[in-house]
């Protein structure tokens, strides 16, 4: 790797993260990683209609309600982020 790449990598990564939501990096903490997984899962459930229907049957709710619930859960899937430790 050339020296100049090292300076670009952070910006490239941020660009990737902006373009493809949910891209991780080496220093991901446990919370962020879990949030990415949960958001991907909810997005997949909403996108696949049979899976959404399957959950709706299990919980005896309408499909629209399930879709709404999952979209709301995507905001804070794992709850509030943990307190940042002061260095």
Partner 1 sequence: MHKLKSMFFFLLQTEYGDIFKVTLEHDGDRVSELKIKYFDTIPVTASMCVLKSGFLFAASEFGNHALYQFKAIGDDDDVEASSATLMETEEGFQPVFFQPRRLKNLVRIDQVESLMPIMDMKVSNIFEEETPQIFTLCGRGPRSSLRILRTGLAVSEMAVSKLPGIPSAVWTVKKNVIDEFDAYIVVSFTNATLVLSIGETVEEVSDSGFLDTTPSLAVSLIGDDSLMQVHPNGIRHIREDGRINEWRTPGKRTISKVGSNRLQVVIALSGGELIYFEVDVTGQLMEVEKHEMSGDVACLDIAPVPEGRQRSRFLAVGSYDKTIRILSLDPDDCMQALSVQSVSSAPESLLFLEVQASIGGEDGADHPASLFLNAGLQNGVLFRTVVDMVTGQLSDSRSRFLGLRAPKLFPIIVRGKRAMLCLSSRPWLGYIHQGHFLLTPLSYETLEYAASFSSDQCVEGVVAVAGEALRIFTIERLGETFNETVIPLRYTPRKFVLQPKRKLLVMIESDQGALTAEEREAARKECFEAGQAGENGTGSADQMENGGEDEDKDDPLSDEHYGYPKAEADKWVSCIRVLDPRTGNTTCLLELQDNEAAFSICTVNFHDKEYGTLLAVGTAKGLQFYPKMGLTAGFIHIYRFVEEGRSLELLHKTQVEGVPLALCQFQGRLLAGIGPVLRLYDLGKKRLLRKCENKLFPNSIVSIHAYRDRIYVGDIQESFHYCKYRRDENQLYIFADDCVPRWLTASYHIDFDTMAGADKFGNVYFVRLPQDVSDEIEEDPTGGRIKWEQGKLNGAPNKVEEIVQFHVGDVVSCLQKASLIPGGGECIVYGTVMGSIGALHAFTSRDDVDFFSHLEMHMRQDHPPLCGRDHMAYRSAYFPVKDVIDGDLCEQFPTLPMDLQKKIAEELDRTPGEIMKKLEEVRNKII
Minimum CB separation from partner 1 for residue 75, in Å?
17
4 binds partner 1 (CB under 8 A): no
CB of 76 to partner 1, least distance (A): 15
3-state per-residue secondary structure call for 28-86: CCHHHHHHHHHHHHHHHHHHCHHHHHHHHHHHCCCHHHHHHHHHHHCCCCCCCCCCCCC
The answer to the question of residue 71 lying near partner 1 (CB under 8 A) is no
- Answer yes or no whether residue 34 interacts with partner 1 by CB under 8 A: no
Is 56 a residue that touches partner 1 (CB under 8 A)?
Answer: yes
């Amino acid at each position: 790797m050339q020296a100049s790449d090292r300076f670009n990598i952070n910006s490239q990564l941020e660009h990737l993260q902006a373009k493809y939501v949910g891209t991780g990096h080496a220093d991901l903490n446990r919370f962020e990683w879990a949030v990415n997984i949960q958001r991907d899962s909810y997005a997949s459930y909403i996108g696949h209609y049979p899976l959404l229907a399957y959950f709706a049957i299990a919980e005896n709710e309408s499909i629209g309600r399930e879709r709404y619930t999952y979209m709301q859960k995507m905001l804070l899937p794992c709850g509030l982020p943990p307190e940042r430790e002061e260095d």
